[in-house]
Amino acid sequence: MGSLFRDFLEAAKRSEKEILIGKSGSTPEGKYEKIRSGQSYLYKKYGMESEVIEIRLKKKVTGSFLNEALRTAMKRYPYFNTKLIEKDGDFYIVQNEQSLIAKRTKELARLGHISCGYHLIDITYYDCSVYVSFHHALCDGRGVLPFVETLIYYYCGLAYGRKPCPEGVRLAEESLLPGETADPFQKEYSFNQDKEFISLSRDAYAIPENVAAEEVTNYRYEVKISGDQYMKVCKESHATPAILLALLMSKGIAELYPDYDKPIHANLAADIRDALNVPNTFKNCVMSMALPYDREFAKKSLSEQAEEYRHILKAQRDRDYCRKQANAMIGLSDRLDSLESYEEKQKIMGFFEGMMLNTYIISYLGKFKLGENAQYVEDIHLYNSGTIGLGINMIACGEEFVLDFKQNFPSDKYVRAFCSELEKMGIGYSVSDRIPFITPGDSIIKREKQEK
């Protein structure tokens, strides 16, 4: 009798899930919208750590203004008022009956948890900071950036008086762009299979700290750089901001470890939306592109190095090459789709959890469109815990570049090595003390050893 009751209950739950999945998706009009882009982030053993964009204002945040700005901004972004439903180990995005609310707290919520209404983004504030937490399975940094720009615009209008809207900032009354909710990894892409593609070995130098640790606390160093001075060096050497960052950091690591026996790699998280014909999608659409630094390369001038990096990046941004790489990710999703339970899918993905990219990772989010409201913003940061080794996030904010060195070890030797290279270039900077931090793992599904 007990078995029959359990079967009945499970059938009822499954039926309810299917009804919800068929009723909506990223928008109220969507349906049967299975997560493919960012799917791999849903199977981490202890959950995926939140990514956080922290907007630091010069004055204390007013909660009522922030919530009014949030309500207005959300009219433009229905895909952020959503939650996930799990069925047979797959995850579907549906509209959330609970609205997003900005809460005053120092604690970041576990995304997908009841405490934040099961949302995959969460807005909190404390003192002068606004925190926008987001889940990488839902979107990437470029996908959430327009929402943050809209939120800042409306908040500053309420708190300090309305200013002209910066060009490119999306307003509440505007319609979604074509393909804004498209999933770039639904089906394979055609590409020129006869083309000769760049071949880069992933066998790179591993810094000593590139090992997984049981300690959940990560550490962060914040570096603020003079935008004018940094861009002057970029222009003189024909480098982009991300390329100059890679050149200076790799040189610093080479001087820390003069006996390095493999190429030092900066692994750049690159946006591939254009290559996949989904320029407007908010969903996760990045791949890693390697920039190697070896002894022969180190002998070249800064301009020669920058030019070579431009060539290497151009080859990796090639439309056909990106599509070939995207197909490999789609193949993994296809394999996951063939399995019938969350446990089976997690077992496959568990293989990837211990893998890492040597030597370090760079993510350049780009420049925030602040317009005249830049005068009210101290700086903007992007960070998450769960890092293995060293990662560097870069943002252009106002007149400065803001870098967050995030790492699973306390030493400041890498940030010091980088700052030493800035000094050699005559670039002004400031650097913070060490900041211990944790961004919590998600609560999309019940897991072992997950904190209550």
**Which distant-in-sequence residues (6+ apart) come within 8 Å of 142 by Cβ?**
271, 273, 285, 286, 365, 366
Check: CB of residue 286 under 8 Å from CB of residue 316.
Answer: no
Which regions of 154-205 does DSSP assign to beta strands (E)?
none
**Which distant-in-sequence residues (6+ apart) come within 8 Å of 4 by Cβ?**
none
Give me the torsion for CA of 115, 120, 121, 126, rounded to 10°.
30
Tell me the two tokens of residue 174.
Answer: 């505007």
**Cα distances (Å, whole numbers) of residue 222 to 209, 430, 431:** 19, 8, 6
34 burial (CB, 10 Å; 0-12 / 13-18 / 19+) is middle
**pLDDT beneath 70, residues of the chain:** 1-2, 5, 7-8, 354, 447-452
Write out the H or E segment, with its range, that includes residue 95. strand 90-95
Per-residue confidence (pLDDT) for residue 5, from 0 to 100: 67
Phi, psi of 11 (to 5 degrees): -65, -40
Distance (Å, whole) CA 140 – CA 258? 36
Q: What angle do CA 14, 445, 336 make, to 5 degrees?
A: 75
Per-residue confidence (pLDDT) for residue 1, from 0 to 100: 54
Name the β-bridge partners of 226. Answer: 400
Distance (Å, whole) CA 33 – CA 11? 21
Tell me the two tokens of residue 214.
Answer: 């049981």
Distance (Å, whole) CA 257 – CA 259? 5
